[in-house]
């Protein structure tokens, strides 16, 4: 029985599955065929017992005294996320704003999960934000392809926004939400939403009812 035939998974379980998948894909690339919950725990920082409970929701996948088949488990996780309509997103930029997005627990309740994060800063690469470990931007093509990601969020400084969008386009991403001050462009087949947080804040502030009139000003 696949997980799609069982009771709905808790949001916390769904949020952790992309983290396990990322580790499995790395192991698969290294030629590793079997993996234990202890190894996944070392890779993710999640308690091994919790990993076993999470993976038990996916069906009978483990082998006694051997662990899990890497390719088999990766396929099961992909299948489970797809069955629940959960979209995996890439995050480019892991500063304060990007880290806040990655750590937002309610994303999964809305059907989205940050499954890969990228940065160019040596001080951020390799660190954990939310449920993922930050990759260097040079690994974008490989990771996006392995995880079949088509949606991304850009949270980088103004002068790095267009470069980030260009890299995402080359990697195959077709929907990009750009949270920098720059107006980034992309080929016609790619949808880019340019959102300036400061402008959004100012618009909201000016839309608030006036203390004197109790009515929102005309915009």
Q: pLDDT tens digits for 154-166?
A: 999 999 999 999 9
Q: What confidence score (pLDDT) does residue 197 get?
A: 78
Q: What confidence score (pLDDT) does residue 80 get?
A: 87
**CA nearest neighbour of 119 among 98, 89, 144, 149:** 98
Distance of alpha carbon 215 from alpha carbon 160, whole angstroms: 40
Place of tokens 């690469």: 125
Tell me: pLDDT of 203 over 90: no
Which whole-number Å values give the CA distances from 9 to 2, 68, 181, in the listed order? 12, 20, 37
Per-residue pLDDT tens over the stretch 22-48: 889 889 889 999 999 999 999 888 999
Tell me: pLDDT of 84 over 60: yes
Pick the CATH number of 3-83 from 1.10.10.10, 3.20.20.70, 3.40.710.10, 3.90.420.10: 1.10.10.10
Tell me the pTM. Answer: 0.70
Distance of alpha carbon 75 from alpha carbon 96, whole angstroms: 33
Structure tokens at 149: 């990601």
Place of tokens 């929907």: 175
Tell me which CATH code domain 87-202 carries: 3.40.50.720
Half-sphere exposure of 211 (CA within 13 A, CB side): 0
Per-residue pLDDT tens over the stretch 96-137: 999 999 988 778 767 888 999 999 999 999 999 988 899 999
**CA nearest neighbour of 94 among 19, 45, 156, 162:** 156
Place of tokens 């409970």: 53
Q: Where are the domains of the chain?
A: 3-83, 87-202
Distance of alpha carbon 85 from alpha carbon 68, whole angstroms: 25
């Amino acid at each position: 029985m696949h997980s799609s035939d069982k009771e709905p998974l808790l949001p916390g379980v769904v949020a952790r599955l992309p983290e396990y998948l990322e580790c499995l894909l790395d192991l698969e690339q290294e030629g590793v065929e079997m993996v234990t919950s202890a190894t996944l725990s070392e890779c993710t920082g999640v308690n091994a017992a919790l990993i076993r409970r999470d993976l038990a929701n996916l069906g009978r996948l483990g082998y006694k005294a051997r662990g899990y088949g890497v390719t088999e488990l990766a396929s099961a996780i992909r299948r489970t996320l797809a069955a629940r309509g959960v979209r995996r997103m890439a995050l480019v930029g892991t500063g304060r704003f990007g880290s806040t997005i990655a750590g937002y627990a309610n994303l999964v309740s809305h059907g989205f999960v940050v499954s890969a994060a990228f940065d160019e800063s040596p001080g951020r690469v390799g660190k954990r934000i939310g449920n993922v470990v930050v990759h260097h931007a040079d690994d974008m093509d490989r990771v996006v392809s392995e995880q079949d990601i088509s949606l991304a969020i850009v949270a980088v400084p103004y002068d790095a926004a267009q470069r980030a969008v260009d890299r995402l386009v080359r990697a195959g991403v077709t929907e990009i939400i750009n949270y920098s001050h720059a107006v980034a462009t992309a080929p016609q087949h790619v949808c880019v939403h340019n959102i300036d947080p400061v402008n959004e804040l100012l618009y909201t502030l000016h839309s608030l009812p006036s203390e004197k009139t109790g009515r929102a000003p005309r915009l």
